[in-house]
């Protein structure tokens, strides 16, 4: 098969890692694989297997986006085109409707689109695409959603029967994860651990709600000495640092920025904490489980609670409740979960297991061409 994956750029984020994991799987299994990027940039760009072709847009001017996209798809003649965000899903479906093509369009919903739409007041392309979902999604050859809760949500939003949406969890566990767990981490709180280290890995953005986590840790510090490492970059860095400074927590909380292999940081910490208001799946939760670390996550829509099986493999805190989050962190520190059970759960999301479902899906679609 000739398969194309389409996204904006390969910067930090769960969707980007999913695309890379999927692309590398199909490439390893003898398929001709390309990643189409609007912008040929991002922290993960140099990590891509050399057998995967990177195809950038000729122009990123808004008036020329569709022409750039159309040029690539007509030239490449993919059997399958996989997209992973509402604006790109809709762009792909429009191409299908306007151009006679044998390419099968597989659109994937990776985020909690309703919550994303409601979050903030700024009008963006992503927000505007929200209104196109019930119009265009039905014309895709297949719709994939990355969690059961998200499938139900998307069914209501897109006005499509849930039976027509395939739920396939993200291929989050890779062999590279286990290799990078042992990478060195140059941070004094890790190198010379004098007290438990909490860790959060996420983009510094509203949806991840690290402000809540900072306040929860302030509560924990009244009872127990801990350190918190927040791994990631994003638009809220300055605000979060100001919050840390305001609470006088500079010696207890550190924003360490983007790390290419955060798994090494997680593996050397004591409790992983996800404080999100909403998720689509939550790949980093699987990655944390893969290290055997005890996980605390908000019971946000959707994904994380499914990954930890409603509390069996991680402690669940109420969304937006700093007191409950603090209590769950303290409980987790005193009651670590069994490492082997955590790892076994993570392996259920192994790329080789999950990608068999994509392999079957893509094969079925191309068999009908």
Full residue range of the structural domain in which residue 166 is found: 2-171+350-367
CATH code assigned at 216 = 3.40.50.2000
Examine the domain organization and report whether 93 and 197 are in the same domain: no
Confidence of residue 96 (pLDDT cuts 50, 70, 90): very high
CB atoms within 10 A of CB 366: 16
Is residue 116 located within the same domain as residue 53? yes
- Whether a cis peptide bond, with omega within 30° of 0, leads into 302 is yes
Per DSSP, 14 falls in state H
Judgement on whether residues 195 and 120 belong to the same structural domain of the protein = no
Is the entire prediction scored with pTM above 0.85?
A: yes
Residues 186 and 120 occupy one common structural domain: no
pLDDT for 202 equals 96
Of 57, 4, 59, the closest CA to residue 32 belongs to 4
Mean pLDDT of 78-104: 94
Query: Quick one: 235 and 259 in the same domain?
Result: yes
Same domain, 76 and 116: yes
Angle value at C-alpha 29, between 92 and 150, nearest 5 degrees: 45
Q: Are residues 19 and 30 in the same domain?
A: yes
Q: Which of 32-41, 57-66, 98-107, 339-348 has the lowest mean pLDDT?
A: 57-66
Which token pair is 44?
């993960």
Taking only the tens place, the pLDDT of each residue in 54-82 is: 999 999 888 888 999 999 999 999 999 99
Q: Give pLDDT tens digits for 172-231.
A: 999 989 999 999 999 999 999 999 999 999 999 999 999 999 999 999 999 999 999 999
Co-location of 327 and 282 in the same domain: yes
Q: What are phi and psi of 119, to 5 degrees?
A: -75, 115
Total domains in the fold of the chain: 2
pLDDT band at 124 (very low <50, low <70, confident <90, very high): low
Q: Can you spell out the DSSP letters for 60-100? A: --GGGHHHHHHHHHHHH--SEEEE-SHHHHHHHHHHHHHS-
For residues 146 and 218, membership in a common domain is answered with no
Q: Clarify whether residues 145 and 70 are in a common domain.
A: yes
Q: Compute the C-alpha angle 111/312/309, nearest 5°.
A: 30
Beta bridge mates, 115: none
Asked if residue 275 and residue 180 are part of one domain, the reply reads yes
Q: Do 267 and 194 share a structural domain? A: yes
């Amino acid at each position: 098969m000739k398969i194309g994956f389409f996204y904006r750029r390969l910067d930090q984020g769960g969707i980007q890692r999913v695309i890379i994991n999927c692309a590398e799987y199909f490439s390893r299994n003898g398929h001709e694989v390309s990643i189409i990027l609007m912008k040929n940039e991002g922290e993960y760009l140099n990590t891509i297997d050399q057998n995967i072709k990177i195809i950038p847009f000729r122009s990123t001017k808004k008036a020329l986006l569709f022409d750039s996209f159309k040029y690539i798809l007509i030239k490449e003649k993919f059997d399958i085109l996989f997209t992973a965000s509402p604006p790109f899903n809709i762009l792909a479906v429009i191409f299908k409707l306007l151009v006679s093509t044998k390419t099968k369009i597989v659109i994937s919903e990776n985020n909690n689109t309703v919550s994303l739409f409601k979050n903030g007041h700024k009008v963006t392309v992503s927000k505007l695409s929200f209104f196109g979902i019930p119009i265009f999604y039905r014309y895709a050859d297949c719709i994939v959603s990355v969690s059961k809760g998200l499938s139900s949500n998307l069914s209501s939003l897109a006005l499509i029967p849930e039976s027509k949406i395939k739920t396939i969890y993200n291929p989050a566990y890779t062999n590279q994860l286990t290799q990078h767990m042992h990478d060195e981490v140059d941070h004094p709180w890790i190198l010379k651990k004098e007290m438990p280290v909490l860790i959060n890995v996420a983009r510094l953005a509203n949806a991840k709600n690290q402000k809540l986590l900072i306040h929860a840790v302030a509560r924990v510090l009244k009872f127990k000495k801990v350190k918190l490492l927040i791994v990631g970059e994003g638009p809220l860095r300055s605000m979060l640092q100001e919050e840390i400074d305001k609470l006088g927590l500079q010696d207890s909380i550190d924003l360490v920025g983007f790390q290419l292999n955060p798994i090494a940081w997680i593996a050397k910490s004591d409790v992983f904490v996800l404080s999100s208001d909403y998720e689509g799946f939550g790949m980093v939760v699987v990655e944390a489980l893969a290290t055997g670390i005890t996980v605390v996550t908000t019971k946000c829509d959707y994904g994380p609670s499914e990954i930890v099986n409603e509390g069996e493999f991680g402690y669940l805190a109420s969304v937006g409740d700093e007191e409950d989050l603090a209590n769950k962190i303290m409980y987790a520190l005193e009651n670590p979960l069994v490492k082997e059970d955590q790892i076994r759960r993570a392996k259920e999301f192994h790329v080789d297991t999950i990608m068999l479902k994509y392999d079957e899906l893509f094969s079925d679609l191309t068999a009908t061409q």
